[in-house]
Amino acid sequence: MKLIDLTRTLDPTIHDRLPPEFAAAGALLAPRIEYRSPAGGGRDELCHALGCTPEDLPGGEGWGSEGLSGFGSHMGTHVDAPLHYGTTCEGSPARTITDIALDELYCPGFVLDVRGASPGKAIPVEQLAAAVDKLDTRIPTGAALLLRTGQEDHDDVTDWRFYDYPGMSREGTLYLASLGAKVLGTDALGWDRPFHVMREAFRATGDPAHIWDGHFAGREREVFIVQQLTNLPALPSYPFDVGFFPIKLAAASAAPARVVAFLRSA
C-alpha cells in the first residue's frame, strides 16, 4: 500500500510572500510561528521549568518548542463540519467537528478532473457530470469526491490565479451530494467562487443567491467540505481510500486535518 499526503504545509513564511491586496488570505493559509530552538528559547524554557542552568543540560541544549498565533479552525487543509454552514442541517441541529465519527472520514475516494473550468466562475453541473461519467463506475454512498481544478499550476501565493480559482455553486454542490458523496474536496483555496467575485456579483445585482451558495447548500444536504487539498496529480481517478483526520477541536465548525490517500494496489 502506498500513502499519498494531500495536505498543505502550514508554512509561516507564506505571510512574507502574500501580495498586499491578498494579505487577509494569510489567515486561511498558515499561523505565525515562534520557533524556540533547543539552543535558544527552548533551552531557556526548560531551565526555567526545572530550575537548572544550560551547563546542566547535554551539550547545553534543552527542548525545541513552538508558539503559534493566529491559528484558525479553517486554516490550511481543513474539514468543514455542518455547523460551518449554519445551526441547522437537513432540519436538525448541525453537527460539529467532534460530532463526526472518524469512520465517516475514511472512505473510498474519487478524483473528478475538472481542469479547464473558468477561473473565478462556478464549475457547471454539466462539467461535473461529464467528469463523473468519465470515471465509468458507481459512486458508493459515503464516498469522497475530490475536485482537481488545475490549481497545481497556480500554487504560488504571488500568482493571481491562486486567488481566482474555479468554485462551486449551490447546484453543483447538491449534484455531487445527490450521487451519495459525503465528503466533497477541492484543491482550490475555497469551495465557492472567490470572495471578490461573489462580493462583486452581489453588489451588482443585490441577489443573495450569490452569497456563499456552495457552502450554504450544506444546510440542505449534509456534506463535509474539504478545502486546500494538494498533490491530487499523484492520485489515480480511483480506486483508492482517503482519510481526513481533523484535529479534535471541541464543538468547532471545522478543523485543520491531515489528509492521506491510501492506494490499494501499490
Q: Where are the alpha helices (DSSP H) in 77-224?
A: 125-135, 170-178, 195-205, 213-216
pLDDT of residue 266: 52
pLDDT of residue 173: 98
Domain count, the chain: 2
Classified as helix, coil or strand, 51 is coil
Q: CA-CA distance, 223 to 176, in Å (whole number)?
A: 10
Let me know whether 232 and 129 are in one domain. Answer: yes
Which of 44, 69, 94 marks a domain boundary?
A: 69
pLDDT of residue 94: 98
- Residue 216 belongs to some domain of the structure: yes
Let me know whether 54 and 91 are in one domain. Answer: no
Which of 22, 47, 69 marks a domain boundary?
A: 69
Let me know whether 47 and 117 are in one domain. Answer: no
With left for phi above 0 and alpha for psi between -120 and 50, is residue 245 left, alpha or beta? beta
Let me know whether 61 and 101 are in one domain. Answer: no
From the number of C-beta atoms within 10 Å of its C-beta (0-12, 13-18, 19+), residue 145 rates as buried
- Residue 1 belongs to some domain of the structure: no
- Residue 13 belongs to some domain of the structure: no
Let me know whether 114 and 243 are in one domain. Answer: yes
- Domain containing 256 equals 78-263
- Residue 46 belongs to some domain of the structure: yes
Classified as helix, coil or strand, 48 is helix
Is residue 47 within 8 Å of 219, Cβ to Cβ? no
pLDDT of residue 105: 98
Let me know whether 202 and 247 are in one domain. Answer: yes
- Residue 12 belongs to some domain of the structure: no
Let me know whether 105 and 222 are in one domain. Answer: yes
pLDDT of residue 128: 98
pLDDT of residue 264: 81
Mean pLDDT split into 10-residue runs, the chain, 266 residues = 97 96 96 98 98 98 98 98 98 98 98 97 98 97 98 95 97 98 98 97 97 98 98 97 98 98 82
